[in-house]
Amino acid sequence: MERLFVFADFNWLGKAELVGELCYEKLRGSDSYAFKFDENWLKVHAGIKLSEDINNYPGMQYTQPGSDIFGCFSDALPDRWGRTLLKRREQQEKQACTSA
């Protein structure tokens, strides 16, 4: 399982704080995402709701069937055109490595 640490860097925080971990893995050919809040974030900022599909409680939370990723993270992802460009670049880099 791949893990990405999620930090909040809002003006009112003073410094960046760890919110939690976004986890990813491919299961049976489809993408699976999970999120786990940092314990300290929940203690200090329990009243802040990141997204309608993530509840403020400890432990791993998984996306609902039919949802690719949690709503608060979906805006940070490239759109369809952006994904196409990234795939093209990846293919070009792969070809460059194999021809070298």
Element (H or E) spanning 12, and its range?
none
- Residue-level pLDDT at 30: 78
- Beta strand extents in 28-68 (DSSP E only): 30-37, 60-62
- Residue-level pLDDT at 4: 92
pTM for the whole structure? 0.73
Q: 34 - beta bridge partners? A: 23, 62
Phi, psi of 68 (to 5 degrees): -75, -45
**Exposed (0-12), middle (13-18) or buried (19+): which is 35, by Cβ within 10 Å?**
buried
Q: What is the pLDDT along the chain (100 residues), one digit of tens a residue?
A: 789 999 999 999 999 999 999 998 887 777 788 999 999 999 999 999 998 899 999 999 998 877 788 888 887 777 888 878 888 988 998 888 887 6
